[in-house]
Amino acid sequence: MRLTLLVLLACRCQEGASTAPPSGHYAGAEDLLEAALPGALEPLAPLAQGLAGDAADPDPAGQDARDRLHSALGFAMVAEDAEERADAVAGVAEACGQCHARTGVTAPALAAPPWGSGPEHAVAARRAWWGTVGADAAMRAEALGRLPESPPDLVAALTSCAGCHEDY
């Protein structure tokens, strides 16, 4: 029994070992970001509602992060303008990032699009979001710095994106 426990612990702590959440864990979170970027209000509420019903990690230590996440998702369901959508989606990313930092999950940052895979401002906005979700401060800071006017945080970045795209 002790040997099994030691082997399991060694595998979890091994450098390069995956700390990815289970498959399907809040699948669709990126869709929430995509719905907020162009400033389209209609798809945001159902996406947030779907994520709010997702099964979460049963670890009681994560309850505070889940409460923050569900609060941000609730705000996303009733957001009325670009600024509120940006605030809600950034709140979702921050709640995810807080839980991921607590549990050592690093996989979300791997989902970020690589530089050069699209218009720089669009890739930067997505990388800022994934850096927040993945608790990767360096990725988030680099991405924010490459956005027009270098917004100070994800809320300002997403507000700027949504405001610009609402004009189209």
pLDDT tens per residue, range 129-162: 999 988 888 999 999 999 988 899 898 888 887 7
pLDDT tens for each residue of 33-78:
888 776 565 578 888 888 887 655 556 666 787 888 889 999 988 9
Sequence ranges of the domains in the chain: 31-165
Q: Is the pLDDT of residue 15 over 50?
A: no
* Segment holding 91, helix H or strand E: helix 82-103
Chain centroid offset of residue 10 CA: 29
Please tell me the number of Cα atoms within 13 Å of 22 on its side-chain side. 6
> Do residues 76 and 85 make contact, with C-beta atoms less than 8 angstroms apart?
yes
Q: What is the pTM of this model?
A: 0.78
- In degrees and rounded to multiples of 5, residue 148 shows phi and psi of -55, 135
Distances (CA, A) of 95 to 6, 22, 44, 98: 32, 18, 17, 5
